[in-house]
Structure 1
Amino acid sequence: MTTTADDASHAKDPAPAQDAGVRFPFPPSDETEEAARHAVLRATDHLLALQHTEGWWESVFSTDVSYDAHDLFLRRLLGTLDERVATGSGRWIRSLQSADGSWPLVFDGAGHLGTTIQAYVALRLAGDRPDEEHMLRCAAWVREQGGVPASQLTARVWLAMFGLWSWDDLPEIPPEIIALPKWAPMNIYSFSAIMRLALVSLGIISEHRPVRPVPFGIDELFVPSDGPVRAPAPAPADGWERAFRHLNTAVRACRRGSPRAVRRTATNACVRWLLEHQETDGSWGACTPMTTWVVLALHLQGYPSDHPALKAAWDFLEDGAAWTEDGARKLLTVHSPVWDTCLTTTALLDAGLPAGHPALVKAADWLLTRQTDRPGDWSVRRPHLAPGGWSFQFHNQNYPDNDDTAEVVLALRRVAHPDQARVDDAVSRGVRWSLGMQSEDGGWGAFDADNTSTLPGRLPFFDFGEYCVDPPTADITAHVVEMLAAMGMQRDPRTRRAVRWLLDRQEDSGAWYGRWGVNHVYGTGCVLPALVAAGVPRDHPAVRRAVTWLTSVQNTDGGWGEDWRSYADPAYLGRGPSVPSQTAWALLALLAAGEHDGAAVRSGVRWLTERQTDQGTWEEPQFTGTLVPRAVAVHYGHYRHVFPLMALGRYVRRERPGAEAAGPEEADGA
């Protein structure tokens, strides 16, 4: 079982925050600031107590139950599903069913058809009968949504492997795609890092077309032939759409006529690529969903269960399961220690913990061990760039990302470390790597540079559309800009290009889109502190428009929230019940914009202080993180701890972040 900082063994309980050296530079001006100070001290104590003895922090990273279902599917296909795992996983999946019979993507959200179908089949594998009340409700809900034919592609791929859907009705994923040169428009590196791993694995799986029938059918999940069918709306059939549909038909027709030697060579090349990308912890991409696909692919290719690659992968998958006290088995999608640790370090520094505090030095020591030291997939587009980034997880050399790298550098440079030369060297390598990963348009994506092709999203392989690639985004670009400004590079031409990129992408409302967090509150919360830090004056029109938008969407209770549905429905932009992390993001933006004494900030601070728990943190069941907009949401267990502390810490310290204001021309990115 994996342990995290919430249940791992910790260092000796720290002294209260005041004893640890937290001091405030000013006397409190009123009751609001006094309450905020007490909240800062309690939150600091809480976070210090959660630190692992090795120096890192981590809380549970959660997604919807589809990945728990995938784990059961894999074990069933490989013949390793035992009663204990089936019962425990079934208990967990069952516990998250909504009253209408469906399963949502987010806490308290609407049902999602693909996730619900996968949860239903997983419960059948766990022994649930179709005539049980919760299963009847589920089946009725699925039929109301159009049944299995209307579901997302991933669900139907798994159903095909159980003989519950036809492989002939799925898109072809030719393994020969591995042979396309790196300059070709549709090579595997045209896809995002996550999609790339799935694509290569599915190329092998699609070649074998496994069918391992289960001892039950799912007719109850299909709409009767005389009933209405609600199929998903097809994509617009423009020239490219028509071309790819014809191409898929041609690939299927050629499949049987392709020489076996050619197909065998292609699948073997896919296997070699996958084996080259296995991490030291046995995973692929350091996440369970991708590892699940690869394990199945290798099994179909004939790799025995005792092969070192599969043994290591199984160890990773077993370690990714957490058992609750009532016997439920929950799959942990991915570990987030680097992200959680750098954010915690920044939050504690914002709270006023001395820069040389032992907890911060220990965190810095651990972060220094996580810096990547060899090329990964990013080097395909940047072959001459030296490594130096950080990834999200414990072990992930192939896929460091710009977001983690920026936040780690921001944290490390503020710690008073006894070996400053070591820190400076790591920071220098991280900054150099980030600068080398800037895309041609001036922004930064997550894992790759210039991963902007529109073609992969038009292929029928996935139904994630434009999110099959990894273009620059406002939130990540903002974090890199903030890092560069902290390094004194406000006037560097590369920083100015990025500032211009951000200013050009402000929406008419005054907000910025949030790719990796929900949604415009997150995007705006990232961008405003970065712009001000980079020298954009607080009276710049873009800053004032953003402030106006944030204050306009503040809830009457003083907090902020944005519903996950905002990715699909503009009516939810900036709208939703108040949530601690989202309230903190709005406060961080407003504080950076100079709104410390404004009514909106004071109301937001009061909302946070009044809702702090006795343990010194905040309750937050909502999903405020994003992996794939509209498709995969994330609940970051650590967000409720760190972001409110950041906001309150900056509020009580009355910080005025930002470099000396640039001139108007520089602020415009010229």
Structure 2
Amino acid sequence: MTTVDALPSAPSADGVELALGAACDHLIGLRSPEGWWKGELQTNVTMDAEDLLLREFLGIRTEEDTSEAARWIRSEQRADGTWANFHGGPGDLSTTVEAYAALRLAGDPAEAPHMRAAAAFVRQGGGIEATRVFTRIWLAMFGQWPWEDLPVMPPELMFLPSWFPLNIYDWACWARQTIVPLTVVSAHRPVRPLPFDLAELRTGRPVRRCLRLGWEGAFGVLDRALHRYQRRPIAEVRRAALRRAAEWVVARQELDGSWGGIQPPWVYSLIALDLSGYHVDHPVMRKGIRGLDRFTIRDGGGRRMEACQSPLWDTALAVNALLDAGLPGDHPVLTEAADWLIAEEIRGPGDWAVRRPGLAPGGWAFEFDNDGYPDIDDTAEVILGLRRIDHPGARPAIDRAVRWMTGMASRDGGFAAFDADNTRTLCTKLPFCDFGAVIDPPSADVTAHVVEALAHERPVGSRTLRRAVGWLLKAQEADGSWFGRWGANHVYGTGAVLPALVAAGVRPDRPCVRRAVAWLEGHQNDDGGWGEDLRSYDDPRWIGRGRSTASQTAWALMALLAADGRSPAVEAGVRWLVEHQRPDGTWDEPQFTGTGFPGDFYINYHLYRLVFPISALGRYLRLRADDAGTPRGTLWPTC
């Protein structure tokens, strides 16, 4: 890390304006004819491996799909034979097993050098026996793992009322939509053998079952009881539970054929419905299978799947970036984006209403089609953008969204992504839950975005805003930073919270702000940028440490500009962005800086490297213009 005295001099205003103009031109060039933006949402190869396994299970796998997907999977294998969960990360056992199985399905022989290297890594890591439960479920469906050695998730869960522990609404929305179809799969225990065996991935050692105390031990006892029940369920109850689960799944299919617009519930729902008697020609199945094409990217690297798509999020961020850059609120680029955003407003109820039954709907989702699950984070960002655009339909949509968003506050004053008070940790103790977050408690980054939106839409002294600010102050880490739930990691959390606190009226000279500023300045890289490796979620030694990236540098800059805009650290960060910009106006960023599940699943949002630097550079120039007492001109005088 660098010191303030060692930081380089300020970049020229002309150079910053040129960089900002080039970035804005590039961003506007990415806009769709309908007015929205969508960058690729890149994840790891489990999406592609599981897509091939799904198609094999349903009997719809083609040679073309297989060869193209295998080409992509091979291209992502590292020199040591492994596959990682993020760029530059360590090899992951379960991801490597799933990629290996998909390549065997594509015809790659076990004796091939790249397959031998992968198998050696798997065996060294404990073999199939040490993989996560979800990987072993996939293997069990193809006869490569015994169902008896997997935790039982009975479909009778569907009968638990919403107030009872472990009911399906105790799970986060993404987990809920995955668990319900998996209860059907768990009940049927299908086996559709592969034309090969994966013996080379097994160690032969038994799965370790540690004697545990507390809830983990109690659930271990419960799981053994459920295994006995699984062998002889009450026939009428089981049939009714399976019927209810299938009906629940069908009722939540989106217009584009997806479930929640994300991969895990989508593939498991198709499998569950197949086991429930829905043939691949059934309209629900046809729509679900056809919808996967929309999430498929084909290019010179092969065929790869997006785990999700983020047009609402990307459009809101793009709109806010262009506004920060100085594009006027009546510009056609922004008014057309507002047209699209307003048309995407969710006006109907969803699963969130189970916890907030009297709340009127409003807000926005993350995806093109996810009407059952609007999310609070997207809603806050859309509000922040629409309020600055001259559009006659903006104010009614904002008012509805503010009412809904305010009503989604949890009891402790914080805000989660999709649900209110989704904080019961009991389900996290189940032996089934060894991968990813399964509940949706309030987080600092989402709460910060809500605070920033409400600071402009409600009086600063409003109770909801005041309680949310209090939540943020309590959530500050001992080192002065904030944890980032949906972005990597403390740089993201701190980058979201500081602008929100200042917008809500917290003075920049307050100790909470000064401690956060000191943390950011203390974690600036010698090159002037900021970076934080995703290993920081598992290893505290990585907190605030990593190679500089455009998005993370921008997050730090936006925080410092809000709290201490005249710091030498700001000048060095702006210089880093200007000097690392590509000729086309964007930035290189192979690093994953988005978070799906901390510690398990990460995302490279391809627009992050562009929209956040635009916001940071635009805010920097505005601050410099304010200091000089001169008005800023438009960057696009010919528009």
TM range (shorter): over 0.9
Which protein, 1 or 2, shows the higher relative CO under an 8 Å CA cutoff with sep ≥ 6?
Answer: 2
Query: What is the total number of aligned residue pairs between the two structures?
Result: 618
Change (3 A) 1:484 1:233: farther
Runs of 4+ deviating beyond 2 Å: 29-34, 231-234
Partner of 1:621: 590
Partner of 1:55: 35
Match of 2:328 among 344, 354, 363: 354
Structure 2 alignment gaps of length 5 or more: 1-8, 627-639
Answering whether residue 181 of structure 2 is matched by residue 206 of structure 1, we say no
Q: In the TM superposition, what whole-angstrom CA distance separates every residue of 1:131-186 from its partner, at most 9, and x where no partner exists?
A: 00100000011111111111111110000011110000000010000110011011
Partner of 2:412: 441
User: In the aligned structure 2, how far is the partner of 1:301 from the partner of 1:462?
Assistant: 24
User: In the aligned structure 2, how far is the partner of 1:36 from the partner of 1:103?
Assistant: 39
Asked whether the 8 Å contact 1:561–1:574 carries over to 2, the reply is yes
Match of 1:187 among 163, 167, 178: 167
TM-score (norm 1): 0.91
User: Which one-letter code corresponds to 1:443 in the other structure?
Assistant: G
Shift, 1:80, TM fit: 1.0
Change (3 A) 1:655 1:289: farther
SS at match of 2:604: strand
Q: In the TM superposition, what whole-angstrom CA distance separates every residue of 1:572-623 from its partner, at most 9, and x where no partner exists?
A: 0000000100000000000010x22211100000000001111111111110
User: Which one-letter code corresponds to 1:550 in the other structure?
Assistant: L
Shift, 1:464, TM fit: 3.2
Change (3 A) 1:656 1:151: farther
Match of 2:252 among 277, 287, 291: 277
User: Which one-letter code corresponds to 2:570 in the other structure?
Assistant: V
User: Which one-letter code corresponds to 1:362 in the other structure?
Assistant: E
Match of 2:344 among 353, 370, 377: 370
Match of 1:489 among 459, 467, 487: 459
Asked whether the 8 Å contact 1:32–1:605 carries over to 2, the reply is no
Answering whether residue 429 of structure 2 is matched by residue 458 of structure 1, we say yes
User: Which one-letter code corresponds to 1:254 in the other structure?
Assistant: Y
Match of 1:136 among 107, 113, 116: 116
TM-score (norm 2): 0.95
Partner of 1:410: 384
Asked whether the 8 Å contact 1:42–1:615 carries over to 2, the reply is yes
Match of 1:598 among 560, 563, 567: 567
Q: In the TM superposition, what whole-angstrom CA distance separates every residue of 1:344-384 from its partner, at most 9, and x where no partner exists?
A: 00000110111110000000000001110110000000001
Match of 1:242 among 206, 213, 217: 217
Q: In the TM superposition, what whole-angstrom CA distance separates every residue of 1:257-299 from its partner, at most 9, and x where no partner exists?
A: 2222211110100011111111111110012332111001000
Structure 1 alignment gaps of length 5 or more: 1-28, 658-670
Asked whether the 8 Å contact 2:172–2:438 carries over to 1, the reply is yes
Q: In the TM superposition, what whole-angstrom CA distance separates every residue of 1:25-73 from its partner, at most 9, and x where no partner exists?
A: xxxx964332211111111111111111100001100111111111101
Partner of 2:634: none
User: In the aligned structure 2, how far is the partner of 1:212 from the partner of 1:257?
Assistant: 22
Shift, 1:224, TM fit: 5.5
Answering whether residue 525 of structure 2 is matched by residue 550 of structure 1, we say no
User: Which one-letter code corresponds to 1:285 in the other structure?
Assistant: G
Asked whether the 8 Å contact 2:350–2:372 carries over to 1, the reply is yes
SS at match of 1:59: coil
* Between 600-609 and 213-222, the greater mean CA deviation after superposition: 213-222
Identity of aligned residues (%): 51
Partner of 1:267: 242
User: How do residues 535-574 of structure 1 correspond to structure 2 at under 5 angstroms?
Assistant: 535-574=505-544
SS at match of 1:305: coil
Answering whether residue 559 of structure 2 is matched by residue 589 of structure 1, we say yes
User: Which one-letter code corresponds to 1:205 in the other structure?
Assistant: V
Shift, 1:655, TM fit: 7.4
User: In the aligned structure 2, how far is the partner of 1:512 from the partner of 1:652?
Assistant: 26
* Between 278-287 and 317-326, the greater mean CA deviation after superposition: 317-326
User: In the aligned structure 1, how far is the partner of 2:130 from the partner of 2:625?
Assistant: 52
Match of 1:329 among 300, 303, 318: 303
Shift, 1:305, TM fit: 1.3
Q: In the TM superposition, what whole-angstrom CA distance separates every residue of 1:281-333 from its partner, at most 9, and x where no partner exists?
A: 1110012332111001000111111211111101111222111135x111111
Asked whether the 8 Å contact 2:170–2:424 carries over to 1, the reply is yes
Asked whether the 8 Å contact 2:132–2:435 carries over to 1, the reply is no
Q: In the TM superposition, what whole-angstrom CA distance separates every residue of 1:160-214 from its partner, at most 9, and x where no partner exists?
A: 0111100000000100001100110110000000000110010000111010111
Change (3 A) 1:399 1:656: farther
User: In the aligned structure 2, how far is the partner of 1:442 from the partner of 1:30?
Assistant: 40
SS at match of 2:361: coil
User: How do residues 119-198 of structure 1 correspond to structure 2 at under 5 angstroms?
Assistant: 119-198=99-178
User: Which one-letter code corresponds to 2:184 in the other structure?
Assistant: I
Asked whether the 8 Å contact 1:355–1:415 carries over to 2, the reply is yes
User: In the aligned structure 2, how far is the partner of 1:488 from the partner of 1:77?
Assistant: 52
Shift, 1:489, TM fit: 2.6
Partner of 1:221: 201
SS at match of 1:634: strand
Shift, 1:242, TM fit: 1.1
Asked whether the 8 Å contact 2:483–2:494 carries over to 1, the reply is yes
Asked whether the 8 Å contact 2:11–2:575 carries over to 1, the reply is no
Asked whether the 8 Å contact 2:39–2:314 carries over to 1, the reply is yes
SS at match of 1:653: helix
User: In the aligned structure 1, how far is the partner of 2:169 from the partner of 2:385?
Assistant: 31
Partner of 1:22: none
Asked whether the 8 Å contact 2:216–2:431 carries over to 1, the reply is no
Answering whether residue 618 of structure 2 is matched by residue 649 of structure 1, we say yes
Q: In the TM superposition, what whole-angstrom CA distance separates every residue of 1:408-458 from its partner, at most 9, and x where no partner exists?
A: 0000000112x2xx2100000000000000000000001000000010100
Partner of 2:6: none
SS at match of 1:514: coil
SS at match of 1:547: helix
User: In the aligned structure 1, how far is the partner of 2:341 from the partner of 2:571?
Assistant: 35
* Between 455-464 and 402-411, the greater mean CA deviation after superposition: 455-464
Asked whether the 8 Å contact 1:56–1:363 carries over to 2, the reply is yes
Answering whether residue 586 of structure 2 is matched by residue 611 of structure 1, we say no
SS at match of 2:284: helix
Partner of 2:17: 37
RMSD over aligned Cα, in angstroms? 1.5
